[in-house]
Amino acid sequence: MSGEFLEGKEEELEMSSWLRRYLAKPADEGCDSDWKEVSPWSRSAAKRLFDFACVLLSLPVLVPVMLAIGAAVRFTSPGPVFFLQERVGRHGRTFTILKFRTMVHVADAAHHPITTADNQTFTPVGPFLRRWKLDELPQVVNVLLGQMSLVGPRPKLREHVVLDPPCRPGITGLATIIFAREEKILACVARERLDEYFHSFVLPAKRALDSAYMARATFFSDLRLLINSVLRRWDTDALDEFIVSTAFVSREELASPRAANPARHILRSPIASTVNRQEQAEEVSAAD
């Protein structure tokens, strides 16, 4: 599936086989997550110009939407409209990322660095904003300031960075498309195994996806990723493949106490049925 994002037939990769080969193992077992040399497009002035032009042209649409979202955040929960956090950018330089606040504001309270669907207290509009990725819209300011790009690896917290990225982080990217349902997936991981699962499987997988994409990225592949992000064309099949590879082989194996690999018991429940129930609940709630 990722083949449509990567240019050149020789470099096109079947997502399912790619995940099986590189992502279905912890970082200490040789997951290929090191940063490769980025493509000429990824480090070009033309990409920066493309980002700047896209943001400027979209401002007549984005500004009213962002004003409406800001008002919704402000009037549905006490606290600031924006969530500010230090992230790591190109070559290890830190910057302050902008997001619409989606969690209940508590002064001097520390949030868990790994967000799941049930380990945070969200504002009334928070789940909607996160589901549609609308909380990320203020990052167009980071793009205008040259701290971010429209397409690139997502900027990480310092404690989640293994290797400093050689390119500007992005609002969306290949790992974003694959892991769009990440919070629901992580909510199914046993709480005591969450850090282990996230650092051993999820972070290396994201780095491998972003590294492979940025090494081959072109103007047209960036454009396709942007369109797919706006239209919410998430690659859910690839995520399911990743979960099956890293967490369990089948529901029967998950239920069996005799399975040899303890990593396959990291989930509390079969992911497919859990996510389906959550999505059905959201649909019922939306209908009400």
Find the farthest-apart pair of alpha carbons in the chain and give their distance in angstroms, rounded.
59
81 or 182, greater pLDDT: 81
Q: What is the pLDDT of residues 145-161, one digit of tens each?
A: 999 999 999 999 988 88
**Six-digit token string for 151:** 């397409």
Listing DSSP states for 102-162 in one string gives -B---TTPPPPSS--SSSS-B-TTHHHHHHTTGGGTTHHHHHHTTS-EEESPPPBPGGG-S
Distance CA 140, CA 146 (A): 10
Residue 280 has pLDDT above 60, yes or no: no
C-alpha dihedral sign at 128, 132, 138, 139: positive
**Six-digit token string for 75:** 């009037």
- Helix, strand or coil for residue 267? strand
Distance CA 5, CA 107 (A): 42
Task: Name, in order, each residue with C-beta under 8 angstroms of 171's C-beta and a sequence gap of 6 or more.
Answer: 136, 139, 140, 143, 148, 149, 150, 151, 229
- Helix, strand or coil for residue 181? coil
Calculate what percentage of the chain has a pLDDT beyond 90: 41
- Give the CA distances from residue 194 to residues 3, 127, 191, 233, in Å, rounded to whole numbers and listed in that order: 31, 21, 5, 27
Q: What is the pLDDT of residues 46-84, one digit of tens each?
A: 999 999 999 999 999 999 999 999 999 999 999 999 999
135 or 248, greater pLDDT: 135
Q: What is the pLDDT of residues 13-33, one digit of tens each?
A: 344 444 444 444 444 444 445
Q: What is the pLDDT of residues 193-244, one digit of tens each?
A: 888 888 888 888 888 889 889 999 999 999 999 999 999 888 777 777 777 6
Band (261; pLDDT cuts 50, 70, 90): very low
Listing DSSP states for 71-119 in one string gives HHHHHHSSS-SEEEEEEE-GGG-EEEEEEE--B---TTPPPPSS--SSS
